[in-house]
Every structure is written in C-alpha cells, then in structure tokens.
Structure 1
Amino acid sequence: MHVLEQLKQRQLVYGVTDSELEDVLSKQAVTFYVGIDPTADSMHIGHLIPLLVAHHLVAAGHKAIVVIGGGTGLIGDPSGKSEERNLLTLEASMANATALSNQVRRILPNAHIVNNLDWIKTYDLITFLRDIGKHFGINAMLAKDSVKNRLETGISFTEFTYQIIQSLDFLELYRREGCTLQIGGQEQWGNITAGLDLIRKAEGHEAKAYGLVIPLITKEDGTKFGKTASGAVWLDDNRTTPYEFYQYWINLDDTTALARLGQFSLKPLATLESIRKAMADAPHERHAQKALAEELTLLIHGEDARTQVQNISRAFFAGDVRALDVHEIEMGFKGMPAYETAQPITLVEALMQLGLSSSRREARTHIDQNAVSVNGEKQTDTDAMIIREAALHGRYTIVRRGKKHYGVIRHKA
C-alpha cells in the first residue's frame, strides 16, 4: 500500500492540490516541507499531526524539511485566528525557534531543519515588492479564507501579507532544495495554494509542486483537540509534565481514543486494527488509550520519562506511593492539594488543610472509617501526627482519603 493511501486510512488527508500526487509519491523520492511558527517556546499536541505525517512520509523514503518560521513568526499568521496576534520581538522569536528545533529533532531526527529568517532577511523592500509582490493579485489575496474571515473584525497589512511571506518559503525551498510538496493543516490551504501559484509564476508553468492538507482535528464539541480546561497540552515538560501528558491520553473517552489512534500512532495499520479489536472485546482495559499514552510519551519525553509515569500510575492504582522517587512524587502530585509546614501537625489538621475533610469531626470520621492512609499505610488513630522524620525522602507526606483523593504535606527544613 502506497503512503498516500496509508495516510488516508489513518484519516490524515483532507485534500491534495493535484490528484497526480499519489502517483508521484509512489514512484519517486519527494522532498517536502512542513512549517512551524515559533509563537511560543514549545509546541503542543496540535503541532504533532503534521510532524507525524512527515514521519510516515520519511518512512516511505521521502525527505523532510522542517521550516521554523523565525521570519514569518515576526509577522503572524491570520489563519484560524479571530483577532490580531501579539507581535514577537526578534530575540523571542529566535529563542523560541531554538526550543522548537530541539523538540522537532525528537520526532524527526533526520529532518533538515531551517529557519526562514535566513532568506527573508536578504530581501530589501523594493526587491521584495518587485520580484515577489508583483505575482500576487489583491482580489485573489482577499478571497483566501484566512483573510476573508477577518475582514469584518479587521486585519492589519502586516498579517495580510503573511500569505506572501509563506509563499516565498515554498519558492525558496523549491529553488534551494528541490522541494516540491508542502504539508499543513486544512486552515493552511490558502497559503499553500498561494505558494504553488508563486512557484508557477516565478519559475514557469512547467514547474510542478503540490500541497497535502491535513484535516483539522477537533473534539466532539467542535473545540480543538489537545485543549484542556487548564489550557494546551504542551510538549515541553516544564509546561506539561510527562505524567500530565500521559494522563491526557489515558483519560480520553473510548470514541475519541479510537478515532485518534490512526492519526497519532505510528504503529502499522494491522497493529492498530488488533488494538481496536481488543477494545471491542474488553473496553474496560482501555487498550487504545494505553497504546497512545505509552507510544507518545516515549516519542516526546523518552524512555526514562515513560518509566517514571508508569511507576506513578501503578502507585496511584495500588495506593502505595513509597516506591516513588522525589522526581516522580513532584511530577505525579503536581496540581494536587498541598500544605507546607515546618512543624509536626496532627493527621486531623492535615486532612482539613488539604481539603480532604471539611471539619475536624469529619476528619475523625474518615479516620475511624478506615478511609485514610498516610504514605500508603492505613491510619486508624485519630491522634496520629504527621512528622518530618517519617516523610518520604524527608520531604513529603502523602495523605489519601478514599481511593482517589490525595494531598501532599511538604515539610520545610
């Protein structure tokens, strides 16, 4: 099965600009590119899809270029945005570009990574307008969805010119690298076709180039997939810990997990079909969620991080946190109720301070009912004390009420 058909079966193709692309990809090695603007110092899981498509293309023998938009990031892409982006400084754009490049290398270790500022900065205004701007008609630019959708709310000349700058990327890569294919999300259709038009006008109508567009991935309510109540799921472990990343996939509902399996997993299609069958036979085992969580945590964060999140998950399931190291405790309990103290406190007080009990009376009832554990051990003594000497690693006491309610006492020296 050729690669484009595989991508279609994985629900990763929204459209192509030319039906002959299927034949081209099956008969010759193609140099293609995907672009990422450095609007932040980390990608989120929404960025993963085009990079995973790139991974499939590379596996089929094609050559990947990843363009970090150090130049276009200074302009701002209006596609899919209802209002103007905040402009980045050059220093922020370059710092973000370095961070994104490091993340890309984890996913596509053999990709050729370039920064479009390298060629954009060589153009002076007159040369740009004469050599590039003359190929763009205002009517055609206004008809692009990325512009048309913003006309009522307003769009600056800066963002209006974005499609010209991105088109220039495609032309430069066509000339420099023989790049003949751009891949991107469906909101990029207008920018991609603008680039194809520029190549034909600048290089001649015999010049062949193509676009492959990926469907916008959304949740059932129509919002973007990868967003949570607290924000985006980031690839940087300082923004989203590996455990939070892992849990995002584990907590997908069955319908979503099955829908995303082909899109986010790099496993062979036959293996994915086996996972779907296992889900149908035993949905409570959450085979699809576990497959996605383990594979993607390994891809983004590495083997050590995957082992750590598996340790944390086992500890939560069994209620035994004593085997966790310091880093695993900090990662696993991030965002959970916490209370910091330099003095011993009673277990009753700890339950109240952590919000696990609403009053002293309720706290004592919880203890009497055998519903409270400290560092994995049941506590039935209502006079029990929480002391630093008994803390895990001399720093943490983990208090649990029932099966799922946790809190952390942090002991100050």
Structure 2
Amino acid sequence: MANNIIEELEWRGILKQVTNVDKVLFAQKNKKAIYCGIDPTADSLHIGHFLQLVILKHFENYNFKPIVLIGGATGSIGDPSGKSEERKLQSLNIIDENAKAIKSQLNSLIPGVNVLNNKDWLGKYLFVDFLRDVGKYFNISYLLNKDIISSRIESGLSYTEFSYNIMQAYDFYYLYKNNDCFVQLGGSDQWGNIVSGTDYIRKQVGEEENNSCGVTANLLLKKDGTKFGKTETGTIWLDKNKTTVYQMYQFLLNEDDENTFKLLYFLTFLSKKEIENTIEKHKKDPKNRHAQKILAKSIISFIHSEDDFNSAVKISEAIFNNNFNDFSEKDFKVLESVIPVLTIEDNETLLSLNDKHNIAKSRKQLREFLAQKAISVNNNNGFDENYIFSKKEGIFNKYFIIKKGKKNYFMAKFSDKGEK
C-alpha cells in the first residue's frame, strides 16, 4: 500500500490532474469526504462508471468518506462535456426512476457510500434566486474559456447546457458546506467543471479558508479512441438483467493484451507485485489469456459475486467444449440468459421445431446441415429431420442443447404446457 492516495493513483497510472496535492493530503489526514457525480441517464450504471467507483473505493481505503452524487437536477439539463451535440432531454419521471435504480445499485456495490441527489437542493432553488446568489459569481468570459463550452460554441450550445457548469460548481459548494466534502473526483473531461467548483468555493469562504480541491482520472479509451465499454452490440451494463454475467465475462476475456494490462492497474485492487506477476505469467502463454481471466475475476466478483464469476467460466468452457454433462439445473437456468431458448412440445420433431424457430433458414438447409453432421442435439448427431424430442431423453427431463456449426447454440426446452 502506498503512503497516500496520490501515490496510489500515480503508480496505477490513473491520476490525470490535481488542483492542489497538499489539499488532497490534508483531506486524507483529516478523514474528509470525496464525491463524484453521476447523471441518471439510464436505470443502471455501466462499465465506464466502474473506474470512478474503484477510485472512490481507493479513497475510502485511505480514510476518505465516499459520496456519490446522483444528478437528479443536472441530469435533467445534460452535461456538454465530451459531447459534440446536445443530449436529448428525458422526462422528469424517467430521470427520477433512473436515480432510484442507480442508488440501489450503488448501495450494493459500495456499502459504505453516501448516495445523495442534487435535486434535493437544486430542485428547490427558485430561478431568480439562483441567478442572484450563484450566477453573479460566474463571469461570461470565464465560462467561455472553458473547453467544455468553447468546443461547442460553433456547433451549437443551448443556455440549458451552458448552465450545467454553474450547477455543478454549486453542488461542490453545497457538499463542502453541508457534508464536509473537500474533494471532487471526475474523469479528465470534467476538469473545467471541477475547477469552477473550487473557484466558487474560494469566492464564498475566502482564500485562507478554502480547502476544496479536485482530482481527475485518465479516461478509459481503447486503441481506436472510443470509450471502454462501448461494443458493437451495445453498452456493458452493471445490471445483470441488462448485461448477463456471461456477456460481461466474454467482453473482458476478449480484451486485447495491451488494454488488459492497463485495466489490471485501473480496475482492480491487486497490488503492484500481483499485477506484475500476472502480466509475466500471461506473456509466457498468451493464448491461455491468464491476464484477461484475472481481470474478469476481479471485476465480476466486485460487481456481482465470485459464484457468478465461476458460473460464467463454467458456461464459457461448456460452450467452448460442447460439454454440458456437469451442469446442474441451476446452471441450465443461467444458460437460458446466454443462448436462445426454443420452446418445444413433448414428441415434437426437429423439423417442426425448425419451422417455428429457424434453426436453419429452410428445410432444405436443415437437411444439408444434418447430412454434414453439422447439427447436434445433446452432443449426438446421428439422426435426421424426424428426430423426436421426448422428456425421457432430455437433460433433467427438460433440456436439449442444439449446436449448429461451430459456434451457434440453442437451448430447446419444454414449454410449461409440455411439462404438465
């Protein structure tokens, strides 16, 4: 363990900028709070948020009190940071529902975190009062020099988004005064917003009494410059109902080596020696993907559980080896969220099932696959289109694993009607 939080973030390569190192160390010594903000644009956090949560946990390990501020108010405005065009505004009801879901998720991920919502204070502020009390401290020239604002002037920036910087600055001041919060954490694209907060606090309390400071982290970017967690099939969510544990495992398992090594420093709590040993072992046999497996175990165990990780590994290996013999009924229920599920009736034929679910695109193609033995049912392929699904031949009298080609899997399962 490093001597202080700054050293911890530095050796991990996470640290991007600090407004004042001495103030951060003062806050650590005096066990002050740190916060990061999350706007409720969806009903779940995604893997991109995970770095902020990991950093908050590091701060907690160095005696800070973590706060996550859900932007129930700012989320209704939209942060222009890192955006080339204005966000589409969501309804207030959806924002409220998203905020509730994220709060529940955060309490599960970091039990000691204090989850607040800036709607509780900004939502009560009258517009005229806010302009008089807060807006007068922000010079237009000062705001226009912010990268987050200047980068959008030519393409278009509404007054709504223009106001975001001021609202976030006030949030920091509110938490500073009411929650003993001296530090704000954000991604590197939040630097302008954070500095606005420390400047506003200084104007309110005076230079000598101002202990506020900000820390930014390097953004998690892939080689092509896109954000980590964005895939061709969509976002990797932390809610297992939106992204299954198996899908998250596959996503992490398929990261390239260079990015995986960086993520071991960024997204795990492994020591420097443990990370170095992991990378060294990986390089001796890269095809085994040892580093990716360690990364996946660390992340999935934190977000979900070690049992969920083990289940994802078991399913992954079963699919790779086409061997489901060791599966329990619980494993099959998990598998239902991983591969397509086809409902069957007792004594239904493969031909009938194909007509309903298009395992092959046509009857002719089905026969061609069967002739090539490219379709198997429970690892057997010596049958024709008249193969009959019967309970007595099903695994647990219920399940049939159909494999088409090398990578396409389906689960045939008796319907509720068929089970009676």
**Both structures adopt the same fold (TM-score exceeding 0.5):** yes
The answer for the alignment partner of 2:358 in structure 1 is 353
Matched, 1:12 2:14: yes
Distance 1:83 1:394, change over 3 A: farther
Shift of 1:349: 7.2
Matched, 1:242 2:245: yes
Which of the residues 102, 105, 108 maps onto 1:103? Answer: 105
Q: For the Cα contact (< 8 Å) 1:366–1:401, is it kept in 2?
A: no
Gaps of 5+ in 2: none
| Aligned residue runs from structure 1 range 1-400, under 5 A | 1=2, 2-21=4-23, 23-24=25-26, 27-206=29-208, 207-325=210-328, 328-329=331-332, 331-332=334-335, 334=337, 336=339, 339-342=342-345, 344-346=348-350, 350=354, 353-355=358-360, 359-367=365-373, 372-375=375-378, 377-382=379-384, 385-389=387-391, 390-400=393-403
Q: Deviations over 1:69-122 (max 9, x none)?
A: 111111111111122222233322221111111221233210111111111123
* One-letter amino acid matched to 2:350: T
Shift of 1:388: 4.2
Q: Deviations over 1:328-385 (max 9, x none)?
A: 4454454645654446123797599323997245223322xxx54322x332233661
Distance 1:205 1:21, change over 3 A: closer
Q: Distance in 2 between matches of 1:221 and 1:159?
A: 28
| Secondary structure of the structure 1 residue equivalent to 2:81 | coil
Distance 1:403 1:285, change over 3 A: same
4+ long deviations beyond 6 Å = none
Q: For the Cα contact (< 8 Å) 2:28–2:64, is it kept in 1?
A: no
Distance 1:316 1:408, change over 3 A: same
Q: Distance in 1 between matches of 2:289 and 2:213?
A: 39
Shift of 1:24: 3.0
Matched residues, percent identical? 37
Q: Distance in 2 between matches of 1:302 and 1:344?
A: 39
Q: For the Cα contact (< 8 Å) 2:24–2:183, is it kept in 1?
A: no
Q: For the Cα contact (< 8 Å) 2:367–2:385, is it kept in 1?
A: no
Q: For the Cα contact (< 8 Å) 2:185–2:214, is it kept in 1?
A: yes
Shift of 1:297: 1.2
Q: For the Cα contact (< 8 Å) 1:350–1:409, is it kept in 2?
A: no
TM-score, with normalisation over the residues of structure 1?
A: 0.91
Q: Deviations over 1:210-256 (max 9, x none)?
A: 11001111111111110110111001112111111111111112122
| Secondary structure of the structure 1 residue equivalent to 2:376 | strand
Q: Distance in 1 between matches of 2:181 and 2:366?
A: 69
* One-letter amino acid matched to 2:365: S
Q: Distance in 1 between matches of 2:352 and 2:370?
A: 6
Q: For the Cα contact (< 8 Å) 1:354–1:408, is it kept in 2?
A: no
TM-score, with normalisation over the residues of structure 2?
A: 0.90
Q: For the Cα contact (< 8 Å) 1:49–1:264, is it kept in 2?
A: yes
* One-letter amino acid matched to 1:345: T
Q: Distance in 2 between matches of 1:282 and 1:299?
A: 26
Q: For the Cα contact (< 8 Å) 1:233–1:245, is it kept in 2?
A: yes
Range that drifts further, 357-366 or 279-288: 357-366
Q: For the Cα contact (< 8 Å) 1:339–1:353, is it kept in 2?
A: no
Q: Distance in 1 between matches of 2:20 and 2:144?
A: 23
Q: For the Cα contact (< 8 Å) 1:337–1:354, is it kept in 2?
A: no
Q: Distance in 2 between matches of 1:21 and 1:393?
A: 62
* One-letter amino acid matched to 1:247: Q
Q: Distance in 2 between matches of 1:355 and 1:10?
A: 49
Q: For the Cα contact (< 8 Å) 2:344–2:353, is it kept in 1?
A: no
Distance 1:134 1:332, change over 3 A: same
| Secondary structure of the structure 2 residue equivalent to 1:216 | coil
Shift of 1:128: 0.9
Gaps of 5+ in 1: none
Distance 1:321 1:403, change over 3 A: same
RMSD (Å), alpha carbons: 2.5
| Secondary structure of the structure 2 residue equivalent to 1:20 | helix
Q: Distance in 1 between matches of 2:343 and 2:361?
A: 15
Q: Deviations over 1:3-50 (max 9, x none)?
A: 211211212111111242464366442321111111110010000111
Q: For the Cα contact (< 8 Å) 1:265–1:295, is it kept in 2?
A: yes
* One-letter amino acid matched to 2:239: D
* One-letter amino acid matched to 1:364: L
| Secondary structure of the structure 2 residue equivalent to 1:34 | strand
